[in-house]
Amino acid sequence: MGTGRARPTLEKVALRAGVSRATVSRVVNGSTTVAPDIRDTVLRAVQELGYVPNHAARSLVTQRTNSIALVLPEPSTRIFSDDQFFPGIIRGVGQELEVAEKQLVLMMASSAASHDRIEQYAMAGHVDGVMVASVHGADPLPATLTRMGVPVVCNGRPLGHSAVPYVDVDSVGGAAAAVRHLVNAGRQRIATIAGPQDMVAGIDRLAGYRTELRGSTRRSIVAVGDFTRESGAVAMRQLLEDDPRLDAVFVASDLMAHGALGALRDAGRRVPEDVAVIGFDDIELARYTEPPLTTVRQPIVDLGRELARQLLRLADGEEIEPFVVLPTEMVVRASA
């Protein structure tokens, strides 16, 4: 157990201060209707005994826990790769929860079976709300929880028509801006390496590419990867084979772009002279590739913060907008 020495209870404090439990409770919870001298006496007793309110007892009666869950789909290729998505979200969420004095409970949704676990967990009143990150495909979890009365906000537009509020970055706009940059630079044969098409990020970035390209007179040249370096290299070789004369490629993630850069080098193409490359994410590594990678920055930490902010409002019973989309931003370096 390790409970160690018995923790003092309200009762003990009340006894010591010579008041009732109710008064101690009032003081601890910052009620104003307590005379200053009594207040001081109580606070001293609290101090001396090292009293800390018992969480379970408190939330049993208040029906709130002051903690919030963040659900991460464990097996995602993205989550644990070095694109810093996962740490970024956590950091942002953490920042926001810290000021709200809430705690973060992290849940890995490693398998379909764990969906039940998460559902149970939320239903057990463990947390006041749930943030679901990086939804893969049409995940039923957010909708289920919402139906159960649990406040839920998703990170990333859920696939399918879901009424669950979400926070996302403007992938479509970012991709379009990247393609526009290439067009403006006079590139004629602009290919793309898309992300997995069962993830919103993959879908949207491809959509942005397509839309923008359609606006110019160029045709689209598409290969699909899975956001990993390896897949980026493979896709790049594929593209080079499909159209040896391509002079630009928009890659849906920096990691894949890193792989593509390697493939391009192996194929004897110079970047950006022969082929311009633009990535997506602006991970740390992008500054250090050879050549440094032009890319589209997405505000990951802000995404996490916004996610938390929305959920907190929702959990407070406020109305929130059905979605929030954060802007992306082109970062021009040497590769395009």
Partner DNA sequence: GCAAAGCTGGAGAGCGCTCTCGCGGCCGGG
Partner DNA sequence: CCCGGCCGCGAGAGCGCTCTCCAGCTTTGC
Binding residues for a copy of itself (CB under 8 A): 1-5, 7, 50, 52-57, 59-60, 63-65, 67, 74, 79-82, 84, 86-88, 90-91, 94, 98, 103-108, 110, 114, 120-121, 123-126, 128-129, 148-151, 229, 258, 262, 283-285, 288, 290, 314-315, 317
Cα 3 → chain centroid: 35
Q: Would you count residue 9 as binding DNA (CB under 7 A)?
A: yes
Residue 262 · residue 245 · CB < 8 Å: no
Q: How far is the CB of 64 from DNA (least distance, A)?
A: 9
Q: Would you count residue 180 as binding DNA (CB under 7 A)?
A: no
Q: Would you count residue 35 as binding DNA (CB under 7 A)?
A: yes
Q: Would you count residue 20 as binding DNA (CB under 7 A)?
A: yes
User: Residue 58 burial by CB count (10 A; 0-12/13-18/19+): exposed, middle or buried?
Assistant: middle
Q: Would you count residue 19 as binding DNA (CB under 7 A)?
A: yes
The one-letter amino acid code at 206 reads L
* Closest to 310 measured CA to CA, from 74, 21, 93: 93
* Closest to 311 measured CA to CA, from 301, 321, 299: 321
> With respect to DNA, which residue has the nearer C-beta, 38 or 326?
38
Contact window for DNA (CB under 7 A) among 7-15, 190-198, 301-309, 319-327: 7-15
Q: How far is the CB of 120 from DNA (least distance, A)?
A: 12
User: Residue 278 burial by CB count (10 A; 0-12/13-18/19+): exposed, middle or buried?
Assistant: buried
Residue 79 · residue 73 · CB < 8 Å: yes
Q: Would you count residue 21 as binding DNA (CB under 7 A)?
A: yes
Q: Would you count residue 308 as binding DNA (CB under 7 A)?
A: no
Count, residues in the chain:
336
Residues near 241 by beta carbon (within 8 Å), at least 6 away in sequence: none
Q: How far is the CB of 49 from DNA (least distance, A)?
A: 11
Q: How far is the CB of 54 from DNA (least distance, A)?
A: 3
> With respect to a copy of itself, which residue has the nearer C-beta, 57 or 185?
57
* Closest to 68 measured CA to CA, from 111, 108, 112, 101: 101
Cα–Cα distance measured from residue 240 to residue 229, given in angstroms and rounded to the nearest whole number: 17
* Residue 22 contacts which entry, DNA, a copy of itself, none (Cβ below 5-8 A, type-dependent): DNA
- At residue 277, the 3 state secondary structure works out as strand
Q: How far is the CB of 56 from a copy of itself (least distance, A)?
A: 4
DSSP summary character for residue 143: H
Largest CA distance in the chain: 87
Residue 280 · residue 253 · CB < 8 Å: yes
Give me the 54-93 binding string for DNA, x by CB under 7 A, dash otherwise.
x--xx-xxx-------------------------------
Q: How far is the CB of 277 from a copy of itself (least distance, A)?
A: 15
The one-letter amino acid code at 141 reads L
Q: How far is the CB of 18 from a copy of itself (least distance, A)?
A: 24
* Residue 25 contacts which entry, DNA, a copy of itself, none (Cβ below 5-8 A, type-dependent): DNA
Q: % helix / strand / coil in the chain, to the nearest 5? A: 45, 15, 40
Contact window for DNA (CB under 7 A) among 32-40, 95-103, 288-296, 310-318: 32-40
**Chain contacts with DNA (rule: CB under 7 A):** 9-11, 18-23, 25, 28-29, 32-35, 38, 51, 53-54, 57-58, 60-62
